[in-house]
Structure 1
């Protein structure tokens, strides 16, 4: 009860926090000095009231009103910064969040000292080495992810061209930390001045990550300390750029079908990622290819189980590395029904479905048709084309006893593809239109169980600006799908009344479902109020069950109906 009371009083206390100056005593020999104390932070609350929905046979949970709340305060004085984050999930966290986030308490805290060359942190901290394929400690409240490391970190910059980082810690899981310990070292060197480049930029980097966890297995065929290494290179010349990264993890136990350590199934892991592109007048090209094999690094080798069908892996809990799906992030509601999650781990589901990772890539092409041309018109026309395809690794697979031998090149069973085009056209100073066409293939059988789906999606959008603060947006979309839930239709109307108030209503309708009882409207109506750094949003409607993704990382949400209140502010 004290924890709850403390948490709910803190937002009001925050209103009285402000930056203040302290002064030293002055003498005739020394004038008084001023040192500024800066206090800053924020508060965020997301509340949902789940209701019964007879139309979908949904009954509200035992605790229908749930909330996730965060209060962050930072204090900065001279070269020192300290801070903490209080969290409360009362009386329970939102549905299908990490069950480790329960109750109220101190989530993170830290103390930092920083000069021009040294950066020291003790407590909880966030960090990323390279692209994150070996290590990324991060927070995303919308996904229920907070994998901060608790320990110590040292960053040293002997010059502007060199950055060295060393760290040690245990990864956060709920309000606790994992049993496994993490060691890390990262280096970054900019070589442009060494080679006296004037029109180019060249940098290289190297990383080491060690995960130590004691194992209670007689005669393990792997080491308790798992070592991983990475090297990377980045080069820019005029309008062209290229970067490449290679990651390797030494042999470690692979999880079996029950997500338990298999001492007789021990494999190394690796990942290769290449990115290259060009930017010029009216044209931009960006392409990324990636191959990942057995590179899901957990700070505890065996996931913890929530129930018979769910483990910590379902909540991105105790995952040390970062493997987002490299596909286009659509804002269309229908285009986000079938979304791809990166397949980084070995997963032998049955003798017909055996996965060791993924290989594939995506390319983006942006082109602006010049103004005062037949297709460009008075304001020009923007065209964006994206293509992404992802596959299982090709090779030889054996279910019993479990083993595989993959090929470096080639593609195995297709997981997913997304080919799309977006055309944005301004007709007048006040009228803008967007058109999207998307072709998707989703191998639901291999990715989550179900049918293979081919879908085509068309979306049209019109935005009319009454002035600099008032606008209205209309969107209509349709999906033609040959399996699973079949066809959908949807529409959105959004009105910005000024720079303070906005309202919206949208609906997506699964009219093509073969089961007439599941031909459901997923309607939502809501609005937002903004003032300075404060935003309040309310919503009522239906949540479609499935994956919700942010930046290519996803979590599963169940079907629900109810009210949502979101509040965020900063000071």
Structure 2
């Protein structure tokens, strides 16, 4: 009924608006806008991968967003369809056709009111981020009410209440929030001194009834955040401090414990220097027990093949946002061993006990000027990046589970990535690139497996026939000590013009100790773009493992199939 009502209202409004265009009065009936995205995949049995054809092998995820705006009023919603089933390894609650989100928003010069679903982020998101990423199967919109008030253009206050979206329903926990942002540069006359300053304060509360009495924590969990950003000339520094009151933790069976409870902390410091041709950026972060869910105990799902997963596996009911602070590589092989932020307390066994993460990364960018011996005619860009992340140091006991961490120092190492990238424009026709990546990845602390040390080299070359026609070649190799051992990969892309392109790629696990697993993960396809519309067709194999967007990852299984995607905006 909600779907029918929304579509009827929007289609009626759209008809009136179109008819009125032809009228002499030219009365403003508002405008209708939105977008359509559909992703269809036909999965196949693949003896080489050892995968079976799933039930309902033809699957799709589709999204139709419609919005109507007139003056300060906007009404909208998103219709979603997952037929016959959602794509593999998406949240099982994404099933069938239904209205995913809907809202009414009204804005004035100083006020912004929303009823229904909305997205929001406080600061960097470490205590609240409600957002959507269709590639990862994430939609954690809040359904409720939000009010924003801006008494001046450099001050804003936000107050909100809602329940977090989970599938086509909402989670049981109530979310309360308040945020204040102050831009102080003009107020303190800092602009005249080439300076700027802003601060932010946030509160988020999650209320959920507990399934037992006499717990060592309250039904209401409170989280607080303070942020400050300062800039002077080419130097900048910003920090964020977060605190979460004591909350229950999960045992090894993913069951909520009444007496294993701890508070959470997060501290982030970022500073750097930037001017023409030179940039330095340093990010440091410490997370302790900062997993934050709208329902403390995860939902359990059992697939038809007996596989058991939880809502955590699908990044469902996550209140906050803690992405990995590492370089986001474009290389296929460098993305085999990707790091996912370790924000949770986890006691798997006496050897694997962790309470969070500590570490950071540093970026250095430098451009050798044109006309110098290293810069040549067009200059040369070089970048260095390094990141390292470890468990929190301290004392851990397995039975009964408990820990006491030290604020400074680092525990057992999780991950490191040190890399060098060189980009060189030789002339108007040739562009070259080279990357070297050294990685350390302890799978024992991130889902199980071996300690892997890997080295990756990447070479790429782009040849421009014209301003819109080009061909790009990329060759990669990985040497790895354990797990699946050595890989080789290659990609070729041909841009026929600004609208049409084709590609072919292959990843070959030739160094696997098991000859039956020395697999080629081949893919080929193309895309066509016209205006605001794009259609793409692809056939090939998906390597199983983590797929990441913006430092947030989810697991995908190995699969083989034909995929078609289409999206447009109107």
TM-score by length of 1: 0.95
Choose the corresponding residue for 1:143, options 136, 142, 157: 136
After TM superposition, give the deviation of residue 480 of structure 1 in Å: 0.3
The answer to whether residue 119 in structure 2 is matched with residue 120 in structure 1 is no
Cα displacement string for residues 119-167 of structure 1 (whole angstroms, at most 9, x for unaligned residues): 0000000000000000000000000000000000000000012100000
**Which secondary structure does the structure 2 equivalent of 1:313 belong to?**
helix
Residue in 1 aligned with 2:474?
Answer: 475
Residue in 2 aligned with 1:29?
Answer: none
Q: Is the 8 A contact 2:16 2:29 kept in 1?
A: no
Cα displacement string for residues 343-366 of structure 1 (whole angstroms, at most 9, x for unaligned residues): 001000101110000000011111
Distance between the aligned counterparts of 1:514 and 1:3, measured in 2?
A: 55
Residue in 1 aligned with 2:363?
Answer: 364
The answer to whether residue 278 in structure 2 is matched with residue 283 in structure 1 is yes
After TM superposition, give the deviation of residue 216 of structure 1 in Å: 1.9
The answer to whether residue 533 in structure 2 is matched with residue 540 in structure 1 is no
**Which secondary structure does the structure 2 equivalent of 1:335 belong to?**
helix
Residue in 1 aligned with 2:325?
Answer: 326
Q: 1:237 to 1:17 in 2, by over 3 A?
A: farther
Distance between the aligned counterparts of 1:510 and 1:364, measured in 2?
A: 31
Distance between the aligned counterparts of 1:154 and 1:483, measured in 2?
A: 53
Distance between the aligned counterparts of 1:296 and 1:436, measured in 2?
A: 34
Q: Is the 8 A contact 1:21 1:37 kept in 2?
A: no
Distance between the aligned counterparts of 1:558 and 1:18, measured in 2?
A: 48
Aligned-residue CA RMSD (Å): 2.1
Q: Is the 8 A contact 2:382 2:423 kept in 1?
A: yes
The answer to whether residue 70 in structure 2 is matched with residue 77 in structure 1 is yes
Q: Is the 8 A contact 1:36 1:78 kept in 2?
A: no
**Which secondary structure does the structure 1 equivalent of 2:28 belong to?**
strand
Cα displacement string for residues 62-101 of structure 1 (whole angstroms, at most 9, x for unaligned residues): 1100000000011100110110000000000000001110
Residue in 2 aligned with 1:388?
Answer: 387
Q: Any unmatched runs of 5+ in structure 2?
A: none
The answer to whether residue 56 in structure 2 is matched with residue 63 in structure 1 is yes
Choose the corresponding residue for 1:209, options 199, 204, 223: 204
Using the TM superposition, name which of 327-336 and 49-58 deviates more.
Answer: 49-58
Distance between the aligned counterparts of 1:19 and 1:386, measured in 2?
A: 53
After TM superposition, give the deviation of residue 3 of structure 1 in Å: 11
After TM superposition, give the deviation of residue 58 of structure 1 in Å: 1.4
Cα displacement string for residues 486-521 of structure 1 (whole angstroms, at most 9, x for unaligned residues): 000010000000111100000010000000000000
The answer to whether residue 287 in structure 2 is matched with residue 302 in structure 1 is no
Number of residue pairs matched by the alignment = 560
Distance between the aligned counterparts of 1:22 and 1:537, measured in 2?
A: 36
Alignment of 1:399-414 (within 5 A): 399-414=398-413
**Which secondary structure does the structure 1 equivalent of 2:135 belong to?**
helix
TM-score by length of 2: 0.95
Alignment of 1:94-113 (within 5 A): 94-113=87-106
Q: Is the 8 A contact 2:116 2:143 kept in 1?
A: yes
After TM superposition, give the deviation of residue 57 of structure 1 in Å: 2.0
Residue in 2 aligned with 1:252?
Answer: 247
Cα displacement string for residues 426-483 of structure 1 (whole angstroms, at most 9, x for unaligned residues): 0001110010000000001111101000000000000011111100000000000010
Alignment of 1:171-190 (within 5 A): 171-190=164-183
**Which secondary structure does the structure 1 equivalent of 2:212 belong to?**
coil
Cα displacement string for residues 205-225 of structure 1 (whole angstroms, at most 9, x for unaligned residues): 100000000112021211101
Q: Is the 8 A contact 1:443 1:451 kept in 2?
A: yes
Q: Is the 8 A contact 1:124 1:151 kept in 2?
A: yes
Q: Any unmatched runs of 5+ in structure 1?
A: 27-31
